[in-house]
Each structure stands twice: as C-alpha cells, then as structure tokens.
C-alpha cells in the first residue's frame, strides 16, 4: 500500500483522499475524465462514465492517458474491469465523424473508417432512416437538419460523433468587455474564466464553438457567458430559467460590456423584444395554449440569424428545447451549469446537442483562491415547547412539518445567533409568511416577500448595503432574487422540506467573497425530534457532500 | 479370461503380418473377415493383394473368396477383441468396465478380488473391482514386490495358482511381468506391441508372451487397438501410470503472497446473525431450518466481504452456517412464533454478544482447545458435542495407536508457520506425512472396510481421508476462526499460514490478539460514509454491526444510517460502542455532526413491552361503580367503563365470577381461557423442545 490518493473501485467510482501528498495533481488529472459526485471533508468521490470518458476524448485525451493516470495515482491495483471499460468507452469516440460535404453545401457527411461499424449503424433502428443515403461503404450523406438527431442517435448507439462540420456565421455584433464597469469598479475576467472562454472558443475553429462550462455557484458563469459573447462577436440568444435571471443577465451585460441598451432585448411572458442580444426564459419558449398545441415561441430561434445560443443552467434544459436544439447544430452553443448531473438522466443529450464539457473548476479551488467565501453551516436544534408537543403529536402528517417549522421558540435563537455575529449583515430566510411577519415584528426587522413592491425592495436593499438595516427577513423570494444584497450571515428558519436546490440557492446568497477572513455563516434553525429534523438531515447530507463544514448545536448553546 | 485366452507367442510371432498391412487393409480385415466361413474377395478390394500376401487370410482362387485358417485364428481373435475397446484413446471408468465385462467372468472377479482387502463385503463386481484396478496400488504392489516370495504372494492375492501341482504362473513369468510393467511406466497412454516386441529388452519372445498373458489376466496390463492407425497396443492403466510416475510430494515451500486476509469469519458471521436475531426473531423454514431467502439476503449485506479468490476456503451459505453454529453452541434456540419456527437468542447468546471481539472468539476457541479428543469421532457417533475435530472418520473406530491430533499439530507447526500453497500442503500431507499409512497392517484393515473403502485401493482411501480431514480442519477450525491467514500467491495459488490464534488453538501459544491490530484505517466522512483506506476485515466486521454495507473494502464500504444504528441499538449496542469502534479504527477525528446524530438516534430508543390482558367492559358508568363496589382493587379501572383483569388462577377467577353474579353482574363470556388456535394447518404450535431437544 502506498500513499497515492486514488482508490479505484470496480463500480467505476474513484475515491480521492484529499490528505494524500499528491492530491492536487491527481485531482486535476482525474477531473479531465471523471465527474465529481461528492466532496465531503476527507474523501471525494468521482465517477467515470462513458460520457465522462467521451468528454475527455473530445478534449484530446487518449485511453492510455486515462488508464495511465488511474494507475499512476492509485493506491491499490486498478481493477481490470475498469481498465477494460475505459478502453472500450474511449475506442468508441471518434469512430464516427460528421463533416462538411465539400461538393454539396446542402449536405453533410457521416463518415466512419470501419466498414463493419458502418453496416451496424446503417441497420440500427434509430439510425437507419437518417442514414439512408449511403454514398460509399463507410460514408453517408445527410441533411443539415438531421445533424442533431443523428448525433443523439449515435450517442444512444454508443458511438458519439466527432462533429467537425463547423458553424454558420451569425449576424455580426460589435461587443467587448469593459475594463471598468458602469458602476465604476475595475473589471477583468479571472484566470479560470479566461481559460474557460478560450477552451470554448478554440480561436473560432470547428473544434470549439459548442460545449458546456461547469462552474460552481458564485464563480461567475454569467461573466464567462459574456466573455464568450465578446469572443464570438455575433448575435446571441440567451436562455435562462426565470424572469429574475433574465433581468440579471441584462443588468450584467449592461454593467460589464460596452453594448448599448437598445441592443439587448427581453423575451418573456410580459415583454417580447427580439434584439441582437436577446435573453429569454425556458418557460416562455415552452409555453403553449393547450397541451396538444404547438410551442409558438420556439420560433424565436429562427427570428434572427443567431451566431451563438447560451443555455444557462443547462442541467435544467426542458425537453422541447432539446428538440429544437437538435435542428440548430450549425449555431454555436454554450451550456453553463454548476453540475452536469440532470434529474431526468438526459446527460447524453446535453453531450450530443450542446456539446462536450469544455471547462470544470471545482469550488474548493475557487474557495482556496479566495473567489468565493468559506462557509460554515450550523444546524441549531430547538426543542418544541411543551404546549405544542401534544398538538404536534396528534397532528396529521402533512401538518407536522409546518407546526415544527413555525416553532415560536426559534425567534429567540435567531436573536442569539445575531447577537453572536453582531455587526454582520444578516438575512433571515423562511418559507411561511405568517411566521416571517411575526418574526420581523419581534426582531423589528423589515420583511420582504413576493408582494413587496420593487421600489420598497430597492430602498431596503440600499439600507441593508449601507448598514442602516442590519437584518432583512425574506421569504422564498430570497431563493431566486438575484439583486439581493450580499450578506455574511444567513439564518434559515424554515424551508421546503429537504430541498437540496433551495439549500444551494440560499447558501449561494452568502458565498461572494468577503473582506477579511472571507468567512460566511449559514444557520438552519430546526425543531429537534420532529419531522423537520428528518428533512434537515437530507440537507445536512447534501451540504456535507458539497464539502461544507457542518455543525450541530442545541439552542441553549447560543443563549 | 475369455477373449485373450489364446497362444500369445503365436500372436506375437504373427504380428509382423499385421504390421505389413496398410490401414485400409487392416480395416477391411477387421470389418469383413469372419471367424468361420468364406467372404467374397471383392469385400476386401482394393487391398486384396496385400491381405492375401500377408498370409492372415487364405484365398480361394477358383471361387474368389477368403477364409480364416486355424494358423491365424488366434491373431485375428486378439486383434478383433482389441479393436472393440479403444481403452487408451478413452481411458474412462466406463470403457474399463466394458472391457472387463467382455474379457472376464464373475468367477474371475471373485478370484481377482480375493486378497482380503475387500473387508467384510467380499463380493466384488466389475464396477467395484474396476475402481480398484484403476488405483495405483493395484499395479504398485507388483512393482514393489521384492523377491520371488513376494511375487508369488502377489500372484496368489490376484487369484493365480502358483503351487507346483496346478500352476497358472511361475515365478519366472512373474519376474518377466514385473519387468514389462516397469517398462510400460514410460508409456502413459500405452505402448504399441511393435515397440515392445522390437525392444531389445524383450528378446525372449516366449517369456514376453507369457508375461503379457499373465498381465492381462490380472489386469495389470490392458490390450487395445489405437483408433487412428489400428495399431495393437498394450499398457498399464493410464491413471495408474500417472500416479506411479508422479514424484512423491515435496515439502511445501514458502510462497510469496500478494494479497492476504485474516479474520475469524465464522465468529464474525455468528455475531452478525445473532445481532439480527437479537433485534428481531428470525423466521426459518420448517423443513430444513434455513433462514428465508429475503431475510438471508438482508443479513448477508452486513457480512464481511471475502476476497473472491478465497471461495474454496470459505464455503457459501454463510448465514445458515452461522445460524447452525449458534444453535449448536446454544446461543440461539428455535421457538414457535405465530405457528412458525423462529430463531430466538438465548441468555448465553445475549451474554456472548456483549463481549469484546477478542472475548467472543476466545469463548468459541476455549472448548475446542480444552477438548480431550485425540482422534475424530466415527461417522456413527450421534453425540453433538463440539470437539477439536470438525471431521468424522468414515468407518469404524480409530485404533489405539492412532493420535491424529498430535499428527495434525505437528504437521501444521512444522510446515505452516509461513504462507504455503494449500494444494501443495494437502498433497504433501496425504503422500508423505500420512499417519494412516504408517499404521501397522492389522490396524489398517480396520479402516479399509465400508462402502467407500471397498471400491478402492485402501491407500488411496487413506490419502483421501487424511486430505479431507486436514482440509476441513483448515476450513472450519483455522480459517473460520482466524487460526490461519489466507493468501493469494504471485503464482495464483491459494495459501495459508498459521496465526497466533491457530497456535493457541493447537495448544502451543498461551494467548492471542484479535480485533484490535488491523493495520488499515478508515475515514468517517461528515456525510456518514465510512471509507476503508485498506483491507481490515476485523474492523469491517465490527462496523457491519451498526452500519449499512454499500461496497467493499478497500473503498466506500459502509454508510451510517439511522436505520442501521437503531438496529444495532435494538441488539444492545450502545452509543459508546459505536463511537468507540469508529474512533479506534479511524485515522481522523469522527466528524462532530456524525457523533451528534448517532447519539441523537440512539437516545431516541425506547423499549416497550407487549402483553396480553383481559378486559372487563360494562355498559355505563353506573355499572362500573357496581363493579368497583364488588371487586374493589382486584381490578384496575382503565376508562370509565373498562377494567383490566389481573392474571389469576382458575379458582380465583371462579370466585370473582360468583361474586359478580351474587351482585347481579352477569358476565357474557366467563368460559375458561381459550387455548391458542393452531395456525399450521391444524398442527400444534412449534415447541422449543420439539426442535432443540
């Protein structure tokens, strides 16, 4: 046994000992061909999959380099099945290429050097109708429109295509990043952001121009998107998850690029403005009058000659957008996400239709470099007061969570936490407006909910930033309100059961870099020995697996 | 002997005629030429000329036909008999018995098997004798015979008459046969008669012919035709040649192991199964007391994963095996629950479970170590006490001079202090260090009987007996109890080496360590994963008691879950046990959130008792008041109209009923307590004594 960091398991997972001497170099090697699954304190787990191998191959890695890295950093002999599977996955990549037809601009060529494989593809159930025009034993002629569908079908058949057919040129757009933002702050892309932009753009060659950039929350995915826009310099369609996000994109574009305001359009339920840079929501694109009606807004993809399409939070890309994306393979496509893992398991469609992973920076690296704050998560358990215990005991199951969440004794704990972190701006986040109203009143802190007018919000945010309001009580709007001011202390008094996504969003509120110790605190106040604690355990696991330090304390420890 | 009862000198002298024939002519002769009568010449075309010129068949020119003359009748008879049994092409027990059936009578079998080694069942048939003939000893006895007397004794034992008045065989012939048999040891698949006849060693053809005849008659030699070229062959039985030419087993030498594994697997499995039983009685099948598949699969996930290469050492069905060990040791008992047999922990089992891993193992080892057993009990011994040997001698009692425990101890201490290949050890023990073979002949006989021993060479039987006994001891007493480390050598051989536990069991060490000295460490992660940074079976076994297995060590082997921790708590494991075990095994501090949650889960454990009771219910509160007035504190009022009756004898119950009647309160159901209904198709419920005696 040596002190190498990897333990390669036969189920294709790789455990990485972060305390091992060669951890950093080993992790960098591994991240090229495996996906990080979880990263708790001591041992991180990566998974090798066909997609992760194909991503690596697309980035120029060979099977020998992959197995070599596994062997090099492994503490024990690498299981034979892992080596053989990696070789098998890798040898499948690039056996099929999609190229331009030099003699016919209306057609593309699907080419394989292997006659037997060509035969197999020609007889595949999904592929046969798309590959009916065989012009040579190993070459098929296809329509441009089928490029995406063929790539999808090929990846399902286990032979991902290497697409070097290139892109059409979109409308030209004169845009550049500012060196000083409109709000008069110095601005430049960080090193990892520059590298991500270069990896995607590949100097404008056919090898680049489509793919996914993976960055953790708070690492500046929007900024990377803008960097790509300024590199491509063609009209751009940006698709994102909500109206708030649309406005945040627009705000950021105006703040950090030199593009004029009239060049940017919002395409949402309320505004349908198509400009050289248009920001739209997935919801509006997939809206239809009836269940069996057409998706009328998908026409947006053809409204202009887009040179670049950005898919924000690509792991949430809805199915109809996949369909239309399949027909847009001649456009440059950028996916931005914090994770490649999709709940619906359609990672292969992301690979086929958006493109392979182009950059992936672990959040721990960013934390160490000071780009995001170090967060300590603490769960504070508050007992349920005697009079409420019977009420809780006899309540129906669906009401128990609310009774526990609204435990009135949480108020004192919140006071104690704020007292412990005196002088730090605090966000108190909850789910139930009734509870928040009472808390806001008792704490004499302003409350912001979904019904709070934007003007009042802006005023409160300004006071919060200025420090005249030390604490803000916010409802679920905090999950998505991108304009929410920065804080170093977040206290969660109730949440949506065990929602991991909500937990990540709320934690993300305090991850921006902080002056001084760059330290943020995230408290979850839960009622002990209740169903709320059970749900909190799921969130605890999630945060631990993300690598955050997690503590558990009793309420009396704060009094 | 039937078909080979011919003049072999004449056959050998005529053989050149056969050798001169091409293959087609040989085939035509064997297929077409009849022992009597004529065959038209065209049946032999195109080899007629070759056949005629060989002189084997006579040719009638006038009528263009062939016939077999008396001069060559013996040769053709032998050749045809040989061609019927391609023994050396397919040397199986089936072809051997077919050959014996063709060439020998039942009387021959009786004569051949009359040497006394058949014990009390002296009626050999071709099947039992065939097995014996195929063992090395059958021919080995002839080869080992020193001097004329020994040769004559051998011949007598094979049923040959050697007295001068009625002689079948002379000592000269026996010497020739011995020489020929030694010569044939160089031919594992038989020699062609051409090779033998033309060998300068066999210049005296007449003596050779006699030797062949004697050898065939005693089944030392076998004659057959080679299928490819129809060449007459002669030889020893192939398995005999293999055994006689295999060099005696060498003392095994130290192996270089690339993987090794040490764990008292049986004790850890018993612990896991008993923990499951303590948490909740485990139902077993009524017919064979095996744990039901679903429960078995659940428990199996908590057992320590064994290296795949050790499958020969650790047999399968570990849950049932462990349950069997627990029953034999009185740690669990079978009792009825809802009409079905279930495993319940006994007080002794519960007590055993609370011991440390070392003490749990010591409790198992101690009775074995102190056992007075010097030899395994015989197969008919019905007692179920646990002895030193996990093996039963197949037949009859051990003679007084036999002390297998001493032999076994000496052998293991002599050769197994370092890793040695299991197979080499078994072979060495069976062939070179076999105490049965060292027994005086009169005592050997006591072991040679029985159904199994009857069929074979007793020496093979003794080798197999000693080999089996040692292997079972290695499996059950050493590997199963941590008495041997198991390893995989760089050549792929499974190896073993005695440990301190093994030496303690054999009585040459006064103490042992267990459960605390595994070198590899674990990491408990804040997300409750338990990762093994190396192989540490005893730690794995310890942690399996309160964690859920998700993989194998080294790697992510366990996850601590609320369910797994509560299950351990139910089996009597305390918070300190869990945290203590994790802390001892972990190289890094146990995350505080993990400690906190485990403590929280275990502090939530409450125990409650279920009991049956009888209730007395009245219609209204006024009636209840009358009950109180009549029975006072003999009943306990639970609700305004319901009372709990305390357990009482029938006489007391009758008195209570009378009292109520006298007060005007009549009970709707005052019959005697019902017996529980049988639930197994009308059968009586299972009774503990019924199962565990």
Instruction: Give chain B positions within 8 Å (CB) of A76.
Output: 554
pLDDT at A466 over 80: yes
Indicate the residue of A9, A17, A551 with minimum beta-carbon distance to B556: A9
**For residue A154, is pLDDT > 50?**
yes
The answer to whether B521 faces chain A, any CB pair under 8 Å, is no
Nearest chain A residue to B589 by CA: give it.
A42
The least confident of A223-227, A531-535, B85-89, B439-443 is: B439-443
Helices and strands counted in chain A (H then E): 22, 23
Percent of chain B with pLDDT over 70: 90
- The beta-carbon neighbor of A40 closest among B529, B551, B597 is B529
What residues of A are in contact with residue B596 (Cβ under 8 Å)? Answer: 552
Q: What is the pLDDT of residue B450?
A: 45
| Closest-approach residue (CA) in chain A for B530 | A43
Among the listed ranges A69-73, B91-95, B467-471, which one has the minimum average pLDDT value?
Answer: B91-95
Q: Which tens digits make up the pLDDT trace of B69-122?
A: 989 999 999 999 999 988 999 888 889 999 999 999 988 888 887 654 444 445
* Cβ distance of B523 and A45 shorter than 8 Å: no
Q: How far apart are CA B506 and CA A245, in angstroms?
A: 76
- Contacts of range B156-159, beta carbons closer than 8 Å, 24 or more positions apart: B157/B114, B157/B115, B157/B116, B158/B111, B158/B112, B158/B115, B158/B218, B159/B108, B159/B110, B159/B111, B159/B112, B159/B114, B159/B218
What CATH number matches the domain at A191-361, 3.40.50.300, 3.30.70.1060, 3.30.499.10, 2.50.20.10? 3.40.50.300
Q: Which of A2, A3, A5, A7 to mutate to test the interface with B (most CBs of B within 10 A)?
A: A7
Instruction: Looking at the complex, report in whole angstroms how far the Cα of residue A532 sits from the nearest Cα belonging to chain B.
Output: 14
Secondary structure in 3-state letters for A475-508: CCHHHHCCCCCCCCEEEECCCCCCCHHHHHHHHH
Q: In terms of CA atoms, which chain B residue is nearest residue A534?
A: B562
pLDDT for B291 equals: 93
Residues 6+ apart with CB under 8 A from A294: A288
A524-551: average pLDDT: 89
Q: How far apart are CA A550 and CA A25, in angstroms?
A: 27
Distance from CA of B572 to the nearest CA of A (A): 22
Which residues from A are below 8 Å from B when comparing CB atoms?
1, 7, 9, 11, 13, 15, 17, 19, 38, 40-43, 45, 75-76, 379, 529, 537, 540-541, 544-545, 549-552
**From the list B554, B562, B588, which residue is nearest A76 (CB)?**
B554
Mean pLDDT of chain B: 86
- A88-92, B236-240, B670-674: least confident range: B670-674
Tell me what pLDDT residue A162 has.
Answer: 87
| CATH 3.40.50.300 domain span(s) along chain A | 191-361, 368-558
Judging by beta carbons within 10 Å of its beta carbon (0-12, 13-18, 19+), is residue A23 exposed, middle or buried? middle
Lowest mean pLDDT among A313-327, A514-528, B425-439, B617-631: A313-327
Q: Identify which of B525, B534, B555 has the shortest CB distance to residue A9.
A: B555
- Specify the CATH class of B264-369 in words: mainly alpha
Average pLDDT value for residue range A276-283: 91
Cβ-count burial of B554 within 10 angstroms (0-12 exposed, 13-18 middle, 19+ buried)? buried
Return the CATH number of the domain spanning residue range B404-506.
1.10.10
Least confident of A26-40, B229-243, B445-459: B445-459
Q: In the predicted model, is pLDDT for residue A479 greater than 80?
A: no
B593 and A552: CB-CB below 8 Å? yes
| pLDDT, tens only, A510-522 | 887 877 778 899 9
Smallest CA–CA distance from B550 into chain A, residue: A11
**pLDDT (tens digit, 9 = 90+) per residue, A330-384?**
889 999 988 776 667 778 888 888 888 888 887 777 888 888 888 899 999 999 9
CB of B589 within 8 Å of any CB in chain A? no
Taking an 8 Å cut-off on Cβ atoms, the answer to whether A544 and B593 are in contact is yes
pLDDT band at B281 (very low <50, low <70, confident <90, very high): confident
Q: At what angle do helices A147-156 and A319-326 cross, to 10 degrees?
A: 120
Q: Over 50: is that where the pLDDT of A66 sits?
A: yes
Structure tokens at B90: 């397919």
Measured between alpha carbons, how far is B597 from B528 in angstroms, rounded to an integer? Answer: 10
pLDDT for B540 equals 80
Is the pLDDT at A454 greater than 80? The verdict is: no
Domain at A368-558, CATH class: alpha beta
Q: Is cis: bond before B554, omega within 30 of 0?
A: yes
Contacts of B597 in chain A (CB under 8 A): 537, 552
* pLDDT over threshold 60, residue B676: no
The pLDDT of residue A329: 83
Note whether B566 contacts A: Cβ–Cβ < 8 A: no
Q: Which of chain A's residues have a Cβ under 8 Å away from the Cβ of B588?
A: 19, 42
Distances (CA, A) of B649 to B186, B632, B661, B673: 90, 18, 18, 10
Cross-chain Cβ contact B525/A41 below 8 Å: yes
- Structural domain boundaries of chain B? 8-245, 264-369, 404-506, 522-603, 614-673
Chain-chain contact of B555 with A7 (C-beta, under 8 angstroms): yes
Q: Is the pLDDT of residue B677 over 60?
A: no
* Cα distances (Å, whole numbers) of residue A474 to A380, A430, A460, A522: 19, 7, 11, 15
pLDDT at A497 over 80: no
Q: Which residue has the higher pLDDT, B364 or B106?
A: B364
Instruction: Give the residue from A402, A405, A409 showing the smallest Cα distance to A387.
Output: A409
> Kind of pairing, strands A210-214 and A357-360?
parallel
CA-based nearest residue in chain A for residue B532:
A7
Give the pLDDT score at A343. 65
Nearest-CA distance from A77 to chain B in Å? 11
Q: Is the pLDDT of residue A324 over 90?
A: no
Residue range B499-519, pLDDT digits in tens: 999 999 999 999 998 875 555
- Give the residue from chain B lying closest to A544, CA to CA: B527
Predicted local confidence at residue A200, as pLDDT: 93
CB contact under 8 A, A75 and B529: no
Please give the pLDDT value at position B683: 52
> Taking 60 as the threshold, does the pLDDT of residue B686 lie above it?
no
Contacts of A160 (CB under 8 A, 6+ apart): A54, A92, A93, A96, A151, A154, A351, A352
Average pLDDT over residues B625-635: 90
Average pLDDT, chain A: 88
Greater confidence, A367 or B683? A367
Same-fold call for B264-369 versus B404-506: yes
Instruction: Enumerate the H helices of A93-233 as residue ranges.
Output: 115-122, 147-156, 191-201, 221-232
pLDDT score recorded for residue A44: 92
């Amino acid at each position: 046994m040596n002190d190498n960091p990897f333990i390669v398991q036969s189920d294709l997972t790789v455990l990485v000992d972060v305390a091992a001497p060669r951890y950093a170099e080993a992790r960098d090697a591994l991240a090229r061909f495996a996906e990080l699954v979880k990263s708790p304190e001591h041992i991180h787990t990566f998974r090798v999959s066909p997609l992760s191998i194909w991503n690596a191959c697309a980035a120029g890695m060979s099977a020998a380099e992959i197995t070599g890295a596994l062997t090099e950093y492994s503490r024990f002999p690498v299981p034979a099945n892992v080596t053989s599977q990696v070789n098998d996955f890798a040898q499948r990549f690039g056996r099929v290429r999609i190229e331009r037809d030099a003699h016919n601009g209306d057609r593309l060529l699907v080419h394989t050097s292997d006659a037997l494989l060509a035969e197999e593809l020609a007889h595949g159930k999904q592929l046969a109708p798309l590959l009916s025009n065989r012009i040579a034993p190993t070459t098929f002629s296809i329509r441009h429109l089928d490029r995406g569908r063929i790539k999808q079908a090929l990846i399902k058949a286990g032979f991902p295509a290497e697409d070097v057919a290139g892109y059409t040129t979109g409308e030209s757009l004169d845009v550049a990043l500012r060196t000083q933002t409109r709000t008069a702050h110095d601005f430049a892309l960080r090193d990892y952001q520059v590298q991500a932009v270069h990896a995607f753009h590949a100097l404008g060659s056919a090898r680049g121009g489509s793919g996914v950039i993976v960055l953790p929350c708070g690492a500046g995915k929007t900024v990377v998107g803008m960097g790509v826009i300024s590199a491509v310099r063609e009209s751009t369609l940006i698709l994102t998850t909500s109206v708030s996000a649309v406005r945040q994109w627009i705000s950021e574009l105006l703040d950090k690029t030199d593009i004029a305001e009239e060049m940017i359009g919002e395409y949402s339920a309320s505004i349908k403005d198509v400009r050289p840079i248009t920001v739209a929501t997935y919801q509006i694109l997939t809206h239809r009058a009836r269940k069996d009606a057409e998706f009328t807004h998908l026409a947006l993809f053809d409204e202009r000659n887009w040179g670049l399409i950005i898919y924000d939070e690509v792991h949430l890309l809805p199915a109809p957008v996949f369909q239309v994306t399949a027909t847009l393979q001649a456009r440059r496509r950028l996916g931005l996400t914090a994770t490649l893992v999709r709940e619906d398991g359609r990672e292969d469609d992301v690979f086929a239709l958006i493109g392979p992973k182009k950059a992936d920076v672990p959040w721990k690296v960013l934390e160490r470099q000071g780009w995001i704050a170090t967060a300590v998560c603490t769960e504070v358990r508050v007992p349920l007061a005697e009079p409420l215990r019977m009420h809780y005991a006899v309540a129906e199951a669906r009401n128990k969570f609310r009774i526990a969440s609204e435990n009135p004794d949480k108020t004192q704990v919140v006071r104690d936490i704020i007292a412990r972190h005196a002088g730090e701006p605090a966000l108190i986040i909850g789910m139930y407006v009734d509870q928040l109203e009472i808390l806001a009143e008792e704490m004499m802190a302003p409350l912001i909910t979904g019904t709070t007018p934007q003007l009042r919000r802006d005023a409160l945010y300004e006071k919060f930033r200025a420090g005249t309001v030390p604490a803000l009580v916010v409802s679920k709007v905090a999950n998505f309100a991108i304009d929410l001011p920065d804080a170093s202390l977040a206290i969660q008094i109730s949440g949506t059961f065990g929602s991991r996504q909500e937990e990540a969003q709320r934690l993300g509120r305090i991850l921006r870099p902080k002056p001084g110790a760059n330290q943020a605190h995230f408290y979850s106040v839960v009622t002990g020995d209740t169903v709320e604690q059970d749900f909190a355990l799921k969130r605890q696991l999630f945060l631990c697996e993300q690598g955050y330090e997690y503590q558990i304390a009793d309420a009396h420890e704060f009094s | 002997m039937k078909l080979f009862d011919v003049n072999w000198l004449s056959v050998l002298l005529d053989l050149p005629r056969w050798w001169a024939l091409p293959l087609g002519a040989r085939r035509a002769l064997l297929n077409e030429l009849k022992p009597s009568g004529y065959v038209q010449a065209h049946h032999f075309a195109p080899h007629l000329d070759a056949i005629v010129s060989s002189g084997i068949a006579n040719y009638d020119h006038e009528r263009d036909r062939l016939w077999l003359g008396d001069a060559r009748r013996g040769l053709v008879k032998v050749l045809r008999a040989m061609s019927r049994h391609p023994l050396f092409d397919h040397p199986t027990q089936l072809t051997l018995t077919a050959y014996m059936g063709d060439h020998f009578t039942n009387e021959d079998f009786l004569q051949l098997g009359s040497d006394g080694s058949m014990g009390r069942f002296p009626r050999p048939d071709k099947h039992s004798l065939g097995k014996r003939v195929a063992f090395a000893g059958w021919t080995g006895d002839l080869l080992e015979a020193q001097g004329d007397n020994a040769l004559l004794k051998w011949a007598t034992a094979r049923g040959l008459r050697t007295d001068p008045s009625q002689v079948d065989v002379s000592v000269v012939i026996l010497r020739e046969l011995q020489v020929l048999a030694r010569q044939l040891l160089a031919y594992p698949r038989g020699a062609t008669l051409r090779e033998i006849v033309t060998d300068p060693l066999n210049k005296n053809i007449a003596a050779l012919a006699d030797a062949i005849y004697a050898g065939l008659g005693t089944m030392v030699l076998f004659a057959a035709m080679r299928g490819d070229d129809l060449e007459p062959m002669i030889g020893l039985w192939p398995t005999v040649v293999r055994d006689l030419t295999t060099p005696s087993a060498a003392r095994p030498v130290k192996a270089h192991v690339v993987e090794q594994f040490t764990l008292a697997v049986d004790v850890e499995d018993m612990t896991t199964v008993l923990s499951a039983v303590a948490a909740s009685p485990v139902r077993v099948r009524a017919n064979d007391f095996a744990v039901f598949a679903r429960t078995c699969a659940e428990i199996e996930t908590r057992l320590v994963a064994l290296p795949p290469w050790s499958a020969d050492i650790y047999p399968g069905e570990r849950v049932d095996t462990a349950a069997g060990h627990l029953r034999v040791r009185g740690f669990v008992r079978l009792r009825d629950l809802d009409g079905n047999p279930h495993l319940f922990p006994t007080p002794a089992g519960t007590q055993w479970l609370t011991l440390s891993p070392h003490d749990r193992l010591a409790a198992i080892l101690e009775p074995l170590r102190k056992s007075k057993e010097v030899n395994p009990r015989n197969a008919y011994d019905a007692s179920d006490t646990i002895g030193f040997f996990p093996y039963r001698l197949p037949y009859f009692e051990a003679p007084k001079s036999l002390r297998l425990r001493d032999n076994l101890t000496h052998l293991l201490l002599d050769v197994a202090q370092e890793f040695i290949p299991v197979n080499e050890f078994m072979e060495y023990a069976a062939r070179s260090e076999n105490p049965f073979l060292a027994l005086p002949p009169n005592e050997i006989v006591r072991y040679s009987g029985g159904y199994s021993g009857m069929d074979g060479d007793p020496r093979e039987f003794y080798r197999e007996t000693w080999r089996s006994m040692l292997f079972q001891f290695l499996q059950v007493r050493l590997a199963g109890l941590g008495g041997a480390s198991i390893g995989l050598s760089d050549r792929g051989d499974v190896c073993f080496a005695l440990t301190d536990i093994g030496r303690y069991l054999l009585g040459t060490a006064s103490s042992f360590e267990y459960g605390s000295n595994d070198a590899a460490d674990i990491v408990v992660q804040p997300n409750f994963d338990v990762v093994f940074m190396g192989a540490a079976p005893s730690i794995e076994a310890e942690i399996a008691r309160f964690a859920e297995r998700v993989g194998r060590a080294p790697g992510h082997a366990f996850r601590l879950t609320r369910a797994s921790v509560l299950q351990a708590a139910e089996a009597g494991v305390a918070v300190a046990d869990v945290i203590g075990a994790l802390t001892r095994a972990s190289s890094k501090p146990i995350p505080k959130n993990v400690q906190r949650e485990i403590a929280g889960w275990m502090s939530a454990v409450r125990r409650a008792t279920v009991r049956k009771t009888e209730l007395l219910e009245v219609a209204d509160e006024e009636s209840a008041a009358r009950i109180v007035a009549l029975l006072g504190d003999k009943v306990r009022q639970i609700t305004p109209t319901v009372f709990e009756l305390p357990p009482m004898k029938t006489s007391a119950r009758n008195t209570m009923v009378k009292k109520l009647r006298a007060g005007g309160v009549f009970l709707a159901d005052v019959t005697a307590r019902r017996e529980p209904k049988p639930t197994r198709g009308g059968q009586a419920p299972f009774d503990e004594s019924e199962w565990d005696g």
